[in-house]
Amino acid sequence: METKALASLIDHTCLKPEATQADVVQLCAEARAHGFAAVCVNPIWVSLAVQELAHQTAPVVCTVVGFPLGATTTEVKVFEAQQALENGAREIDMVIAIGKLKEGDLAFVEADIRAVVTAVHRCQAICKVIIETALLSDSEKVRACQVIQAAGGDFVKTSSGFSSAGATVADVRLLRQTVGKTLGIKASGGIRDRAKAIQLIAAGATRLGTSHGVAILADD
């Protein structure tokens, strides 16, 4: 895959808690220079990232909701999403209620996702839904995908990057087999080199979340 095409699939990410204003400014400068799809920052930095990327159609600003545990209430997730959208975010990556999925309360999980999706779509923005594959069995991953489809999500995202493991080729392949062509798939967590990035795309990923985007593009 040519470098420009690969860059267009990358969400250039900085979600570390110790990130500073200077880190976010650098992230945005790198995203502009390399043509990444988006920058993904914590909510406190959305306004700054929007300012840094003003007057451009891409990269867009993405932020996270209910992050990284997914265990906040639906009302809080919706508020987080609405505030981020008001501040200029165009993509929202939300975490599902993982414990509720594992205990089989799919109605709760679907309602939780749908509430955020509704708020996001009202602003003509995109909602990616993080399922945290490292904490789920294969059957739970399939159920999570089905719930996301039913709730109107735009992407299934593998991981927050803060759990025990990140994206795997096997997981991306399973998610793609489950959702078919109806949803995007964002692979994230542990993507540090070009070879893995290409493998994940070949397995069905349509977006990659990584803090190593610049290094990946340089890794010929």
Q: Is 186 a catalytic residue?
A: yes
Cα dihedral 119, 87, 8, 168, rounded to 10, equals -60
Verify whether residue 154 is a known catalytic residue: no
Q: Which of 77, 100, 141, 157 is catalytic?
A: 157
Q: Could you confirm whether 100 is annotated as catalytic?
A: no
Spot the catalytic one: 11, 77, 93, 196. 93
What is the token pair recorded at 195? 């070879």
Residue 133 DSSP one-character state: G
Take residue 194 and report the two structure tokens written for it.
């070009």
Residue from 207, 200, 210, 135 nearest 174 by CA: 200
Length of the chain as a residue count: 220
From the list 77, 100, 141, 186, the catalytic residue is: 186
Question: Which alpha helices (H) appear in 53-168, and where do they start and end?
Answer: 74-86, 98-102, 106-122, 138-151
Structure tokens at 33: 């220079």
H-helix segments, the chain: 3-7, 21-34, 46-52, 74-86, 98-102, 106-122, 138-151, 169-179, 194-203, 213-218
Buried-exposed string 126-157: b where 16+ CB fall within 10 A, e elsewhere: bbbbbbbbbbbeeebbbbbbebbbebbbbbbb
Distance CA 86, CA 72 (A): 20
- Residues taking part in catalysis: 93, 157, 186
